[in-house]
Amino acid sequence: AELIDPAIKGTLNVLKSCAKVPSIKRVVITASIVSVVYNGKPLTSDVVVDETWFSDSRFCEKNKLWYMASKTLAEEAAWRFAEEKRMDLVVLNPGFVVGPLLQPSLNYTSEVVLAHTRGENIFPSSIYWLVDVQDVAYAHIQAFEIPSATGRYCLVERVVEFPEILKTLNELYPTLGLERKCEELHKPLKRRYQVSQEKAKSLGLSFTPWERSLRETVESLKEKGFLSI
């Protein structure tokens, strides 16, 4: 009730409004990588997830992954509506968006990074699909302006585990005092599955390395007074 209904109704409300305006030639939607990867397939190190993957809403509901279910059902509803109305729809599926804050307040992702600076993981998963906010913004512009843009675009620079994020923060900012926490979480970093960047790069996108995005997030948190180190 809290996640699924607003996601579907909110998406359809906007699309219905767009369908009433003849001058609107294309609609670009911000979806999520969670409407791509949650289908029960094993995500082993040799797997490359791409735009042909779709999350399974039944799998999400069965496992009580309500946020993932809401994003999946909302994207499914959008594609059905676009097909019915012959609407030119482009969908972007970004991962966990990090980078400098535009607004003066904390949003959820910046709260998660702020918790990381304390050695805490408040995200429900230890796996992150990281992408820079500026790359996501640029992808939206390109998806709107390039006539040949079509279908879905996965936007993920790297799939990273929480211990690796903590290790990188400790290297960038030793004064955070995360060394002991890193030792507690120490384990050999294994190669994870990848998310294909091939189609995203057709938009002219060159992904920002996640380590730089992380550093810019922390610098932004410091600049806006949320973090003092």
Q: Where are the domains of the chain?
A: 3-224
Phi then psi for residue 93, to 5 deg, are -120, 80
pTM of the model: 0.94
Question: Which two tokens mark 11?
Answer: 């998406």
**Each residue's pLDDT expressed in tens, for the chain with a length of 229 residues:** 899 999 999 999 999 999 999 999 999 999 999 999 999 999 999 999 999 999 999 999 999 999 999 999 999 999 999 999 999 999 999 999 999 999 999 999 999 999 999 999 999 889 999 999 999 999 999 999 999 999 999 999 999 999 999 999 999 999 999 988 888 776 666 678 999 999 999 999 999 999 999 999 999 999 999 999 8
Question: Which two tokens mark 208?
Answer: 């920002």
* Catalytic residue set: 71
CATH C-level class of 3-224: alpha beta
Q: Which helix (H) or strand (E) holds 98?
A: strand 96-98
